[in-house]
Amino acid sequence: MPVPLRGLAALPFRMFGIRPSRMNPNTCTVCEMMFTKVMRATKISVDVTVLFADLRSFTALSQSLSPDQVASILGFFYDECAAAIWDYDGLLNKTIGDAIMAIFNFPIRHPDHAARAVEAAREIQRRCHAQRPLLTSSLDCDENALGIGIGIDSGTVSFGEFGRSHRDLTAIGTVVNTAARAQSAAQAGQVLVTRAVRDRSGSSLAAAEGRLYPLKGIAEPVELYAA
């Protein structure tokens, strides 16, 4: 498993061209190549927490903006999400248009990965809310148009490289699907988590009350908690 690479410890390695990983700068590029190589050879089951965040109203808003303005919004969103995720040792696994997918507890392991994902989600909301007035004023658009919805689930996924013509290093499984659907149900500025996340997060969500949500593609309503 990769070893965190931070601060002064990184200087000797950078002399030899070893730099922070783009998916998680707390690990190095050599570590990234090692686990990528392993994932090509085999797919593993791993206990993780998956976070999806989506920029609300982006599609409608982008129709009235220039390509440069659209790029500015996405750059702002990706950067703020990445900073929050990396602060809690999460892996920024995907950027998907106006959404991102992050994984916690791989490759850097933490027993409190569910709580870390929740704190990262809260930090994403804090960061984006603080920067939003400046961004929207420069784009001459409604400040309320750039809210973020976040969904989180926790459990076992299959992690590896999937596909043939296009190989993608990622996680798949029910946990990923549920986190994505929870994100779709979240209102702008809201973080919705499953019971598994609530139960694993300790005191920070102990008082949270659940509500049943009908989620697309899932037969029975799912109990979600506002974090």
Domains of the chain: 1-42 (no CATH), 43-226 (3.30.70.1230)
Give the Å distances, CA to CA, from 26 to 23, 143, 173, 201, 216. 9, 33, 26, 23, 35
3-state secondary structure of 19: coil
* pLDDT for position 165: 66
CA atoms within 13 A on the CB side of 155: 15
Q: What is the pTM of this model?
A: 0.81
**What's the mean pLDDT in 176-181?**
97
Backbone φ, ψ for residue 205 (5° rounding) = -125, 15
Integer Cα distance of 215 and 148 in angstroms: 18
Q: Which pLDDT score is estimated for 214? A: 95
- Please report which confidence band the pLDDT of residue 1 belongs to, taking 50, 70 and 90 as the band edges: very low
Report which of 127, 79, 131 is spatially closest to residue 100, judged by C-alpha positions: 79
pLDDT at 108: 85
Give per-residue pLDDT as tens, 126-156.
998 888 777 766 666 666 667 899 999 999 9
CA angle 79, 208, 109 (to 5 degrees): 50
Output the six-digit token pair for 49: 């927490």
Give the integer Cα–Cα distance in Å for 107 and 97.
24
Q: What is the DSSP pairing of strand 148-162 with strand 191-194?
A: parallel
The pLDDT of 196-202, averaged and rounded, is 94
Least confident among 68-77, 115-124, 161-170 = 161-170
Pair type for strands 148-162 and 210-213: unpaired
| Angle at 201 (CA atoms; ends 81, 173), nearest 5 degrees | 65
Predicted local confidence at residue 168, as pLDDT? 74
